[in-house]
Chain A
Amino acid sequence: MPLSRDVFLKGHIDKLGVLIAILAAYGAWSPFASLRANRIVQGEGFGLFSALPAPMAWLLVAIILMGSLVALFRREASPRILAAATVLMALAALVGEAAAHLTPSENNYARVAPATGFWLLLFAFSLLAADGISRMRPDPKLRLAYLIATVGILSLIILSGAWTDLSVMKEYAARDDVFWREASRHLALALGSLGAAALIGIPLGVVCERVPAIRATVLTTLNLVQTIPSIALFGILIAPLGWLAIHVPGAYAIGIRGIGAAPAFVALFLYSMLPMVANTVAGLAAVPRESREAARGLGMTSAQRLFQVEFPLALPVILTAIRIVLVQNIGLATIAALIGGGGFGTFVFQGLGQMATDLVLLGALPTVGLAFFSAVVLDALIDMNSIVPARKEAR
């Protein structure tokens, strides 16, 4: 087909746009929501037009069509972001509407969940949004603004009650007090172990940078700890911590147990040490020789050099370690539930045990959201603290 080939060559059609349009078409044609008689049986899928009242279905089709056309023919960043945001908001609003529409009245057991079509559409237009944002290369402040806007819109949707009839929200409603308790335990585990690792890892990194003799040993050991699968490390730690709790006076009183949050905390702490120490060493080692020499030449003491010259210059690399550790810990903290440590993992593993997908989602979605949120915030912080702006991709 010489004609379409020509169109491609001239760049009128965006290649990613083609992918998005195909996904969107397939998604619009697949079941949009599914209805189940109760929370664990197989569901029945409903297409757009049976899941939604006709005018709303037509509206959504029109919005998806508009979004696909933008993806196909507009290559500038702003229209792509705007189109993606419009489609995503329409999806968010209408999936709640579908739940209200499909749920039989006076039936507390029936569950309505988003189905394949919804997830495909969500994926397609998140791709478009990601593409638009990576084309625009927004500065860190703008990225934070996007993030806050997204969180704000999501909170508004949830608070407005638009999603109340969705199955995940029903799972939440059934255990809202437990949810927030596990959420705070999850955060406490992830952030607490990060804090402890920073408190010990950064000074250890400074020492390692200055004393080459111990550097290799420390880094190799931490590297090996890092390779031990989390659940194995949790398990291995149970025995010694249990022994401590029984045999060391006072250990039990400060919360040391064989089972529960203590081994999880220690394991997360151990995993966090490698990025903290290695990046501190790398960040300090990358401080230009001239800067160190100049600081000495100006008569700074070694403490002054460390705090006024070396740390500020190494800060972006150390912040990168914090980003790595935080994202990693938020993910790993889910596994703590297996040894009674609590956190969002509780819902994931309970859900798997009961074959209740909605409960799995109640644990998994906040974990993913939290990890994503932390990554964006810390990436922005890293960029703001780099003296040389983060390297833009060369084209």
Chain B
Amino acid sequence: MRLSLPNLLRAFLLGLLLVFVMAPQTMEPLLRPLAQANAPVIYEQASLLSLTIQHLMTVIAATVAATMVAVGLAIFVSRPVGAEFLPLSRSLVNIGQTFPPVAVLALAVPVVGFGQKPTLIALFLYGLLPIFENTLTGLTSLPRAVIDAARGIGMTGRQSLWQIELPLALPVILAGIRLSVVIGLATATIGSTVAARTLGEVIIAGLQSNNMAFVVQGGLIVGGLAVLIYDFLSALERRAFQRIRS
């Protein structure tokens, strides 16, 4: 790790986040001016660490499921068997992305009730779209000569998919997963409004009791988390991309 400005910023942000989550009391003097005279400054109805972990678990579970389904579907419609569904699936993704995440979240409640479930469903459904779209773009925009060569030298459809097409589409697929994670982190935050245990709880509690200290606390943790995860996934993507530029 070089000692460059971006790396210093990363380290600072990570440190700040860790202090906020593991030892929130140390931040009290900083947040004190934001709270009203005798209101609590640090959110204590639940441990911030456990909320953070639940927040992350929700996003990870939904993203893993969305990745498996979306990549599977994209492979299906990009093969000859599923080619019939290709134009439709493109329009569906286009339409699907106009659905705001909040609407998906709110509409899931009547079906499955309050709690973690509607949040997971909204995260999963909304996470499908960018991953599906990117996987499809990745698989259908590969250089023709390469695909032709893979068949021409005698690879079976499956060998071509696993050895050539998916590895080459990987950076684009990763970009889709990154988008999906970022949207997921945001949607999980809103999930608190339907009683999911996530970091959004801190912000909502602050808004309801007019306690700016809670709001800022929650906002900084969620924001910092999102920025760090985004940064990490971008680095992963760059690494995957380095090999295949041609």
A interface list, Cβ under 8 A from B: 14-16, 127, 130-131, 133-135, 223-224, 226-236, 238-239, 242, 258, 327, 330-332, 334-335, 338-339, 345, 348-349, 351-352, 357, 360-361, 363-364, 367-368, 371-372, 374-375, 393
Determine whether the beta carbon of A352 is less than 8 Å from that of B106: yes
Is B103 an interface residue, CB under 8 A from the partner?
Answer: yes
Contact of A229 among B87, B194, B215, B222 (CB under 8 A): B222
Determine whether the beta carbon of A331 is less than 8 Å from that of B91: no
Determine whether the beta carbon of B98 is less than 8 Å from that of A14: no
Determine whether the beta carbon of B216 is less than 8 Å from that of A239: yes
**CB-CB under 8 A for A360 and B84, given A228-B226, A239-B216:** no
Nearest Cβ on chain A to B101's Cβ, whole angstroms: 7
Which DSSP category, helix, strand, loop or mixed, fits chain B's interface? helix
Nearest Cβ on chain B to A345's Cβ, whole angstroms: 7
Nearest Cβ on chain A to B64's Cβ, whole angstroms: 20
**Alpha-carbon separation in the docked complex, A330 to B97 (Å):** 12
**CB-CB under 8 A for A360 and B207, given A14-B84, A229-B222, A368-B99:** no
Contact of B222 among A224, A228, A327 (CB under 8 A): A228
Determine whether the beta carbon of B88 is less than 8 Å from that of A239: no
Determine whether the beta carbon of B223 is less than 8 Å from that of A236: yes
**Alpha-carbon separation in the docked complex, A228 to B231 (Å):** 12
Determine whether the beta carbon of A235 is less than 8 Å from that of B91: no
CB proximity to A under 8 Å, residues B201-245 = 203-204, 206-207, 212, 215-216, 218-220, 222-223, 226-227, 230
Nearest Cβ on chain A to B11's Cβ, whole angstroms: 16
Determine whether the beta carbon of B218 is less than 8 Å from that of A235: yes
Nearest Cβ on chain B to A126's Cβ, whole angstroms: 9
Is B186 an interface residue, CB under 8 A from the partner?
Answer: yes
**CB-CB under 8 A for A134 and B87, given A348-B103, A375-B94:** yes
**Alpha-carbon separation in the docked complex, A262 to B239 (Å):** 41
Contact of B218 among A232, A334, A345 (CB under 8 A): A232
Contact of B100 among A15, A228, A332 (CB under 8 A): A332
CB neighbours (8 Å) of B230 from chain A are 223-224, 227
Determine whether the beta carbon of A130 is less than 8 Å from that of B84: no
Is B107 an interface residue, CB under 8 A from the partner?
Answer: yes
**Alpha-carbon separation in the docked complex, A233 to B86 (Å):** 37
Is B160 an interface residue, CB under 8 A from the partner?
Answer: no
**Alpha-carbon separation in the docked complex, A254 to B175 (Å):** 41
23 pairs, A vs B, C-beta closer than 8 Å: A14-B84, A16-B88, A127-B88, A127-B92, A133-B91, A134-B87, A226-B182, A228-B226, A228-B227, A229-B226, A231-B204, A231-B222, A232-B186, A235-B218, A334-B100, A335-B190, A367-B100, A368-B98, A371-B99, A371-B100, A374-B98, A375-B98, A393-B87
B interface list, Cβ under 8 A from A: 34, 84-88, 90-92, 94-95, 97-103, 106-107, 109-110, 182, 185-186, 189-190, 193-194, 200, 203-204, 206-207, 212, 215-216, 218-220, 222-223, 226-227, 230
Determine whether the beta carbon of B91 is less than 8 Å from that of A134: yes
Nearest Cβ on chain B to A35's Cβ, whole angstroms: 15
CB neighbours (8 Å) of B212 from chain A are 238-239, 242, 258
Contact of A227 among B182, B189, B190 (CB under 8 A): B182
Determine whether the beta carbon of B204 is less than 8 Å from that of A338: yes
Determine whether the beta carbon of B85 is less than 8 Å from that of A348: no
Determine whether the beta carbon of B90 is less than 8 Å from that of A134: yes
Q: When A and B form their complex, which 5 residue pairs have the shortest distance between CB atoms, in order from nearest?
A: A331-B100, A229-B186, A235-B219, A235-B215, A232-B219
Determine whether the beta carbon of B223 is less than 8 Å from that of A229: yes
Determine whether the beta carbon of A15 is less than 8 Å from that of B106: no
CB neighbours (8 Å) of A127 from chain B are 88, 92
Beyond A134-B87, A238-B216, A364-B102: 17 further Cβ-contacts under 8 Å? Answer: A14-B84, A15-B84, A15-B85, A130-B91, A130-B95, A134-B88, A134-B90, A227-B182, A228-B222, A230-B190, A232-B186, A331-B101, A345-B102, A352-B109, A364-B106, A367-B102, A375-B94
Contact of A349 among B101, B193, B223, B226 (CB under 8 A): B193
